[in-house]
Amino acid sequence: MFAPTYPRLTGRLRIRPYRADDLDSVMSIFGRADVSRYLNWEPMDREAATALLERRLKQTRIEHEGEGLGLVVAERETDRFVGEVVLRLMSEASRQGEIGWSIHPDAQGRGYATEAAREMLRLGFEELGLHRIVAECDPRNEASIRVMEKLGMRREAHHLEAIYLKGEWVGSMVYAILASEWRAA
């Protein structure tokens, strides 16, 4: 069982569990086509956002392999919702994790994804004891690739036409960072 303490505070951000009153915020980000553009879901209506929020409300601790943390990224001083970060335990035996992020377009370009993801890497390596953390994205998602590079992740693979997404074949870019690389940085 891995149950971190919350909130996780960074210089500008408050990373905290979702609350039932976050539904409008969930709709405001995941209801947008520009946010879902490179992801395998369509913009969410209220029903889909409610289902996501119900899942996220439980994602505050990890009890079994395959489970993850799904947390709100909010501004530290005001608690204004700006996005989310996720960290999933992919393999307990091999101590492998996967990280992901989404930031509301109104709050993009300020380094928030990088700042929040860095805290999740810290959590993954220093508290959960992971050995390797990966992130994957559509090769056209240049902002996300830039975040991975700023985090010190290495490009491990560029799979061609690996996913059939929204009517077309798209590639998959895989980045990773080892615990040893994290410590060295």
d(CA 73, CA 52): 16
In the block, tokens 């530290």 appear at 76
Minimum distance of ligand COA from residue 36's CB (angstroms): 7
The residue within the footprint of ligand COA, chosen from 18, 101, 125, 182 (CB under 6 A), is 101
**Beta strand 168-178 pairing with 13-17:** unpaired
Q: Which of residues 119-178 bind ligand COA (CB under 6 A)?
A: 137, 141-144, 146-147
3-class secondary-structure state, position 132: strand
d(CA 165, CA 16): 31
Minimum distance of ligand COA from residue 141's CB (angstroms): 5
Q: Which of residues 31-70 bind ligand COA (CB under 6 A)?
A: 35, 38-39
The residue within the footprint of ligand COA, chosen from 62, 89, 113, 133 (CB under 6 A), is 113
Instruction: Rule CB under 6 A: say whether 91 interacts with ligand COA.
Output: no
d(CA 146, CA 157): 15
Instruction: Rule CB under 6 A: say whether 103 interacts with ligand COA.
Output: yes
Minimum distance of ligand COA from residue 47's CB (angstroms): 21
For ligand COA, the closer CB: 2 or 163: 163
b/e string for 147-177 if b means 16 or more Cβ within 10 A? Answer: bbeebebeeeeeeeebeeeeeeebbbbbbbb
The residue within the footprint of ligand COA, chosen from 108, 152, 178, 181 (CB under 6 A), is 108
d(CA 151, CA 90): 20
The residue ranges that bind ligand COA (CB under 6 A) are 35, 38-39, 100-103, 108-114, 137, 141-144, 146-147
